[in-house]
Structure 1
Amino acid sequence: MLENWQTFEDELVKIRHQIHQNPELSNQEFETTKLIKNQLDKWHIKIVDTVLKTGVIAEIGDGSNGATIALRADIDALPIIEKTGLAYSSKNIGVMHACGHDFHLTSLLGAARLLKANEGQLNGLVRLIFQPAEENYRGALKVIKAGHLKDVKVIIGDHNHPQLLPGEIGLITGGIMAAVDQFMVKIIGVGTHAANPHLGKDVIVAMSQMINQLQAIVARNVSPADAVVISVTRIEAGNTWNVLPDTAVFEGTIRSFSNQNRQYVKDRFSTIVKQTAEIYDVSTSIRWIEGPGVTNNDIELTNVIVANSKKFAKVFKAAPSNGGEDFADYQAILPGVFAFIGSNGKPNASGWHHSDFTVRDEGLKTAVLYYVENSYRLLEYFDEK
């Protein structure tokens, strides 16, 4: 560790505030990428060549001495107008770090600094992945396609959790975050004057019935013991008060924790939409946009990290979140462990993607130690194999 932790922590806080003030959307993280590279260069950390247009890959240690493990943090922001009132609020109006990715990447930078300072203690190689485009669920796939995980034994990551206090970590084996599916349903009927509805085919009535019926999928077709969510988040139909429109659209998301439920719910969804359309004599089309699968923590390695993390944090059994994470794409090809790091814990703290979402800087220390201490432990674990 560094001789003066407080000075180092103060430096990290300044870095996070700078990042928070300058958020960038998915695939547009050009200045964020420059900032990361500048910090790594300052600390003499090797930056790896990559075809990625944004994001950074770096390495510490020597792969010839042991296993290669990966640490991942996401770096993009959201199209949200910030309303926190912070002195370091976003300068990029309409873009905000409303999910705490500034917290994530700062903690990985801090871990990089500490790992570099103690590089001789590493029995292997630590690859740092500052990943772009998590919010549109495409960044992890880009990192995989670029070949940065070919020789990696395990990848670990985390997400800040506003309901946990700084100094707390939430972990669980198996599914910790949900699979994500997005749907868009278009309904086509026949428009007519509102005074003569019998001359048309009413898409608004059809859409209303579809939305009502879809809620019964979870209520009556899925076990109460299973976590499944269907949310319709946008509807659009018509443009004036006295005309029945000829088209309507609604869209939303499905969240689930098993492949069986994921497919079953989508099948039932399609059946309800199509049969309701037949009843009301309208036609429909469904567009599915498949997001990442379940963020599924490896059992053995999660237990290793739980035991090790208790040395520097309060570790709790995490309650799975219906939120989605493209960290799941890494776990689809190699073992991975994903944790929740306490970042607020105050009563009524706003959750992810809120315009007044905030994190507490004192949570950074635990986030940094999660990466650092578990890097040593995992390299030791593979060295024992």
Structure 2
Amino acid sequence: MKNILQMTEPLTNKLLEIRKELHQHPEVSGEEYETTRRIKQWLTDAGCRILPINTQTGAVAEVSGNKEGPTVAFRADIDALPIPEQTGLPYSSKNENAFHGCGHDWHTTIALGAAMVLSQIRDQFAGHVRFIFQPAEETTQGAKALIDHGLFQDGKIQGIFGLHNQPSIPAGKVGITEHRLMAAVDTLHITIKGKSGHGAIPHQNIDAVVAGSAVVMGLQTAVSRNIDPFEPVVITIGSFHSGTAHNVIAGTAELWGTVRSFNPDVRKQLPELIQRISVDIAAGCGAEAKAEIIPQVPAIQNDAEMTSIVKKAAQSVMGKDSIVKPEPTMGGEDFSLYQEHVPGCYFWVGTGDPMKSIDKPWHDPAFLVNDELIPDTVRLVAEILLTSLKHFQTFTKGEVNHDANLL
């Protein structure tokens, strides 16, 4: 087989141009229209086949080998953040209120590079690789939309992989684990009903502000006094709206928050626990409360065999000492929704380099990615996908019709 290194080196300048173009023209979740158009054009130019999937933004493309075989997938997120950029780069965002402050432009470039490499050696592997360019990761709506529109409907994808840049890991290292990496995310909505009246006569009314404040404080004990201390859980109230005038006791309050956890069994306990605490504390203030948990995404659950494939590829491409154990985060990632359908592995590519100011966390207005790592990361992804095809080769039986629609 042709050396992947030989395939990647001539693409480096083109990929850097793509990354800069994507960075200059960021589009926020659900509005990635021009980004989608450009991605499809780059894929078409590379000889990749665009698969039909009826979402407004995002794309799925396939590179097929010269023989029938298994199908694996790689996902890259494509959306930007609704914040202004403060990097000072010569190719900074031209959209004032949008910025690729999480590196999704970098992820997209990596996926495009891997697709270009595989399209050049399609005569040397069996099977099919699908590249998923997912919109709306930041709002956790993109993966669900693609799944709802038939991403797994034909039943052909057997394994899926995804990555994220990680500035807290040194450049050239790869964070891979079968254990906890990113948490489940749920949205919390609490409504408080009291009785409105004059601020000078509180004894004749029921203050929703006081009741809501007590609920917020009470929820701080939900974790410390109800959950196993070895099970990480976060309950944060980020929005509290109540009242209309300074001298009127508020009759209602509305609270919004986020709930994070890892253990699926603990996650199941939290709605009843939060509801009980909210209702009982509000009742102690004479008010009524209702708490609702809105499920978003489960925790990342990496498959052991898929993780082993990623580790093997990382050692081959990045070096034997490249693998590090990543520190888990309570941040969430909707890649986990794909893992409910097929085995997968989500991992972090270290990009940190303080000497080049590449150490800002995700979503920081001055966040930077490490473009020097693009060639190696493209090779890593290509190697993962080729290795996974070989892994699944023995499980593939019979002919598969890859002309069928995803829908």
Length-normalised TM-score, structure 2: 0.89
Aligned: 1:123 with 2:121: no
Q: 5 Å matches for 1:217-228?
A: 217-228=222-233
Q: 5 Å matches for 1:358-369?
A: 358-369=368-379
Deviation for aligned residue 1:235: 1.6
Q: 5 Å matches for 1:292-371?
A: 292-313=297-318, 314-346=322-354, 349-371=359-381
Q: 5 Å matches for 1:225-304?
A: 225-304=230-309
How many angstroms apart in 1 are the aligned matches of 2:336 and 2:377?
20
Please give the per-residue CA displacement for 1:16-42, whole angstroms capped at 9, x wherever unaligned: 121112111222111001110111122
Q: 2:96 aligns with which of 93, 96, 100?
A: 93
Aligned: 1:177 with 2:182: yes
Please give the per-residue CA displacement for 1:77-126, whole angstroms capped at 9, x wherever unaligned: 22222222222222222222222111111110011111111112222111
Structure 1 vs Structure 2: percent identity of aligned residues?
Answer: 36
Match of 2:47 in 1: 44
Unaligned runs of 5+ in 1: none
Q: Which amino acid aligns with 1:196?
A: I
Report the more deviating stretch, 342-351 or 227-236. 342-351
Report the more deviating stretch, 186-195 or 248-257. 186-195
Equivalent pair of 1:59/1:125 in contact (CA under 8 Å): yes
How many angstroms apart in 1 are the aligned matches of 2:81 and 2:184?
20
Aligned: 1:32 with 2:40: no
Aligned: 1:168 with 2:173: yes
Q: 1:208 aligns with which of 187, 202, 213?
A: 213
Secondary structure of the corresponding residue to residue 85 of structure 2: coil
Deviation for aligned residue 1:268: 0.9
Secondary structure of the corresponding residue to residue 180 of structure 2: strand
Equivalent pair of 1:342/1:363 in contact (CA under 8 Å): no
Q: Which amino acid aligns with 1:279?
A: G
Equivalent pair of 1:180/1:292 in contact (CA under 8 Å): yes
How many angstroms apart in 1 are the aligned matches of 2:145 and 2:34?
19
Match of 1:109 in 2: 112
Secondary structure of the corresponding residue to residue 233 of structure 1: strand
Report the more deviating stretch, 151-160 or 86-95. 86-95
Match of 2:85 in 1: 82
How many angstroms apart in 2 are the aligned matches of 1:168 and 1:237?
48
How many angstroms apart in 1 are the aligned matches of 2:121 and 2:240?
55
Unaligned runs of 5+ in 2: 396-407
Match of 2:404 in 1: none
Q: Which amino acid aligns with 1:57?
A: V
How many angstroms apart in 2 are the aligned matches of 1:92 and 1:140?
25
Q: 1:381 aligns with which of 364, 368, 391?
A: 391
Match of 1:18 in 2: 21
1:136–1:117 CA distance, 2 compared to 1 (3 A): same
Q: Which amino acid aligns with 2:146?
A: V
Match of 2:403 in 1: none
Equivalent pair of 1:37/1:47 in contact (CA under 8 Å): yes
Length-normalised TM-score, structure 1: 0.94
Q: Which amino acid aligns with 1:159?
A: H
Equivalent pair of 1:29/1:75 in contact (CA under 8 Å): yes
RMSD (Å) for aligned C-alpha atoms:
1.9
Equivalent pair of 2:275/2:292 in contact (CA under 8 Å): no
Report the more deviating stretch, 317-326 or 290-299. 317-326
Deviation for aligned residue 1:304: 2.6
1:260–1:63 CA distance, 2 compared to 1 (3 A): farther
Q: Which amino acid aligns with 1:130?
A: F
How many angstroms apart in 2 are the aligned matches of 1:272 and 1:384?
53
How many angstroms apart in 2 are the aligned matches of 1:236 and 1:381?
53
Secondary structure of the corresponding residue to residue 317 of structure 2: coil
How many angstroms apart in 1 are the aligned matches of 2:66 and 2:134?
21
